[in-house]
Chains A and B, each alone.
Chain A
Amino acid sequence: KNQVEQSPQSLIILEGKNCTLQCNYTVSPFSNLRWYKQDTGRGPVSLTIMTFSENTKSNGRYTATLDADTKQSSLHITASQLSDSASYICVVSEIAGGGNKLTFGTGTQLKVEL
């Protein structure tokens, strides 16, 4: 069964610090991987999308990496801000008959404190 596992489950950091969130997956055949940010009381919003051939992609202070060989991805947040407090969800797309199928991770809950 295809799975997406994220770690840590939750994380508390001080404002201004960096952090890295991990995503390991077993989805195959792989199509792409997205990181979503979900603020409390809101729906998820896409931060980055990476395909098989991409190793790194940045979106402002967010940098995602992908190692398709080891089936691992990370999301690095630089100089964290209070507004970064949210759940970060890793979503892997699988090439399936008739189209693509998404597998969602359970998310990492990040809290940035003063």
Chain B
Amino acid sequence: ETGVTQTPRHLVMGMTNKKSLKCEQHLGHNAMYWYKQSAKKPLELMFVYNFKEQTENNSVPSRFSPECPNSSHLFLHLHTLQPEDSALYLCASSRRSGSGGNEQFFGPGTRLTVL
């Protein structure tokens, strides 16, 4: 285990549903990340939080809404998603962002299917 947990592991939702993904890290890190991993495409960075503050949003559609109540927890709220949003959503944490030497530790991901 990497010390980063994600729930649920699998999620199937309709386009009109509202759901949330949860991530928790037990490593004492200060930075947390959301990534999208689609088949045969590189990981796409979605959001970065440093000390609970959002420091990066890579032009992610507003139907994805992140929330970081503290340095250990990260949520991704989903509403009115599209079928092309189906992917593996990975959460990661590191000591702090913006430093390439800091290893990012990944959770197991949530496999999302939008019908």
Contact = CB atoms under 8 A, between A and B. Distances in A.
A4 B43 CA distance: 12
Say whether chain B's binding surface is mostly helix, strand, loop, or mixed: loop
B55 to A, nearest CB: 9
B43 A32 contact: no
B61 interface: no
A49 B2 CA distance: 17
B106 A4 contact: no
A105 B108 contact: no
A24 B103 CA distance: 21
A98 B100 CA distance: 11
Contacts, number: 57
Contacts of A34: 103
Given A4-B42, A105-B42, A106-B40, A32 B100 contact: yes
B100 A43 contact: no
B95 to A, nearest CB: 12
A43 B108 contact: yes
B4 interface: yes
Contacts of A106: 40-42
Interface in B37-93: 40-43, 45, 90-92
Interface of A: 4, 9, 31-32, 34, 41-46, 49, 51, 89, 93-95, 98-107
